Amino acid sequence: MAKAAPGEQMRLLEVQVLDGKLRGLDVQAKELKEDPRLPDLHGGVTVAKSDLVVLDTAVSDAQRALTKSEDDVAAVVARIERDEAKLNSGTGLSKDLMALQSEIESLNHRRGDLEDTELVAMETFEEAVTRQQAQRELVVQMQAVLDEVLDEVRSKLGALKMERDATLAERAELAATFAPELMAIYDRALAKYGVGAARLFHGKSEGSGMHLSAGDLVEIKKAAPDTIVFCPDSGAILVRSEEWS
């Protein structure tokens, strides 16, 4: 069986404290990355941007419709002006001038209809622009909230990383003071079970949180103080002391 001086086994608890701290920091980092606010905020921004794309398209469509209406009115106005110029010149046959007058009247009626259409197109365009602007402001606001939460998460993760790096350095320095063989045993238990060393305190393993069976306790008490024994439940090295019996 593996051996290590009782004092060295006792010092393993100091390493376990640091490993416990590292695990706690990792849990905190995981919780930060899974901040429950983020999915809703990301989803909200995505939907808001998608709605903005729809409104952008509506504005473009309304702009094209307005431009067409303006062009239609301009074309009729130009035709009226040409006909009026011919009529005012007084040249041509009487019947041609009468026909020209009739066409001008028809064009003016057409102009009125087109200007009504133009007015509707203008109102539609203005309403679309108003909705577009409101949606843009909403996207900006929602993105700002998301960015604020992301900055908060990144800041906290940065602080955790600094603390973790410092703890890792402290752990490495402490681990270097142990015999490599002992640390190898400890690290194997830590990697496999999540706990490298734990106290055996009044028959209870602090690695598993459970009381050992009478048979297990008898076997452990038979072991020499420098013999490394393991928790039957957690797999951790059980650190013993007469004061903890």
166 pLDDT band, cuts 50/70/90, is: very high
pLDDT at residue 127, as a whole number:
98
Q: 76: which DSSP letter?
A: H
Distances from the Cα of 190 to the Cαs of 25, 107, 183, 197, in angstroms?
Answer: 16, 92, 10, 8
Q: Which domains does the chain have, with CATH numbers?
A: 6-30+179-240 (no CATH), 35-160 (1.10.287.1700)
Mean pLDDT of 89-111: 81
Answer yes or no: is pLDDT of 92 > 70: no
Give residue-wise pLDDT tens across range 2-20: 899 999 999 999 999 999 9
pLDDT at residue 89, as a whole number:
75
Answer yes or no: is pLDDT of 125 > 90: yes
87 pLDDT band, cuts 50/70/90, is: confident
pLDDT at residue 95, as a whole number:
78
Q: Is the pTM of this model over 0.85?
A: no
Written as one string, the DSSP assignment of 109-139 is HHHHHHHHHHHHHHHHHHHHHHHHHHHHHHH
Mean pLDDT of 151-178: 98
CA 49 to chain centre: 15
* Six token digits for residue 213: 């069976």
Mean pLDDT of the chain: 93
Phi first, then psi, for residue 3 (nearest 5°) are -125, 150
pLDDT at residue 12, as a whole number:
98
For residue 158, the one-letter residue type is G
